[in-house]
Structure 1
């Protein structure tokens, strides 16, 4: 029997990010979306999640959620049966990235929250596909529902995150690195380097999708998840 599937959303996103996967895959396996905004640091968020997640589970995370997923695996390797990172990275913020986040934080605190959200996941990171305007509107709506305080907390958590490359090198579980081929935030070359870092990792690029393939190419991501869940557990 397949392990329960835990999905972690991108920064300033909630369970609606994964509604196509929940609707499609819940016929085949237990699926849950866990929050990634309940803490000031990635370590704190991961610690809180371990108190409520199943004893053993398959774990997939997008962007910020992928960074929390890596920390979960580091803290509880006996509980994470397999790992999927969707448009994410194990690297710490560069000085330039930290500075860019400071600029967004200033906007969020100065009453320019719409601009801050638009800078977090820019429109150019979405591929030119059907329903693009509706997807962008949903992402902005999710962000607005969290508000500026959560925005600032997640930005600070990103700035403070540790480099997790050493964790990735040691993984001996089924790992898939997935991303949209048109993702400008986590481009294909960077995803290829990440896949090479993990022994036996499978790289799955979703053609024509951008940073959020769960909405931009839901069928493609569902297929990728099924393939990942079928990867042999033993390394």
Structure 2
């Protein structure tokens, strides 16, 4: 039986470098495809684009904004998804206050104050105390600079307008893992616990020495968890 294809979807202002360790390890046994989130101002558009080129059946792993795109893919085409990994993400829509809070940063990006926007989006206090914060901020800044302000505005709009996916989560029948860092300052542990409780039979995996970007803060641990998840039997429940 051929191995499953894995589609990996990144957080805001990130490219394939955010999954570098995982792609290198998992690609030894699986076809691994990276799915950018830079084309479209709605989660629905981004999900539709990924579905247009993804295989007929595939596993999906998404982190942050990428996890939200993965949820939209599942809502639209659950029959095509074999399993799902949700990393440092949330099923809830932006509150009106959170959506409004994005607006000044969108305006700043359009006005040329890109360095200010990057400083806001790359928050080292969301990382684990033991993380190499200087190195991580440098790496994240490089990705953000490469992505640019136009991409940021599209992604911020998609985050503002995203649907609440709690009902989608309750209907998941696929093998599911929820991965988070104990020191995640963006989505705190109780929110990851809430997400895992929504999903029937989901496994919650908490990485002690990681914050909101566990693929970079604890790459070996995340890689091992994803390898275990990809090896687990498919769950075919009605």
Shared fold (TM-score greater than 0.5)? Answer: yes
> Is the counterpart of residue 79 in structure 1 residue 80 in structure 2?
yes
The range that moved more, 222-231 or 205-214, is 222-231
> Residue 18 of structure 1 corresponds to which residue in structure 2?
19
Structure 1 runs of 4+ aligned residues shifted over 4 Å read none
- Residue number in structure 2 paired with 1:173: 174
For residues 187-198 of structure 1, the aligned pairs below 5 Å read 187-198=188-199
User: Matched residues in 1 for 2:106 and 2:129: separation?
Assistant: 28
Equivalence for 2:158: 157
Provide the TM-score with structure 2 as the length reference. Answer: 0.95
The correspondence of residues 1-235 of structure 1 with structure 2, limited to 5 A, is 1-234=2-235, 235=237
Q: Distance in 2 between matches of 1:202 and 1:2?
A: 22
Contact 1:132 1:216 in 2 (8 A): no
Counting matched residue pairs gives: 235
Structure 1: 5+ residue stretches without partners: none
What RMSD over aligned residues (CA atoms) do the two structures have, in Å?
A: 1.2
Distance 1:4 1:198 in 2: 23
Higher mean C-alpha deviation, range 109-118 or range 161-170: 109-118
Q: Distance in 1 between matches of 2:93 and 2:221?
A: 29
Residue 212 of structure 1 and its aligned partner are, at CA, apart by 0.9
Secondary structure of 2:79's match?
Answer: coil
Instruction: Give secondary structure in 2 for the equivalent of 1:229.
Output: helix
- Distance, in Å, in 2 between the alignment partners of 1:29 and 1:160 is 33
Query: 1 CA distance for matches of 2:182 and 2:198?
Result: 19
Q: Against the structure 1 CA distance between its residues 54 and 115, is the aligned structure 2 distance closer, same or farther, given a 3 Å change threshold?
A: same
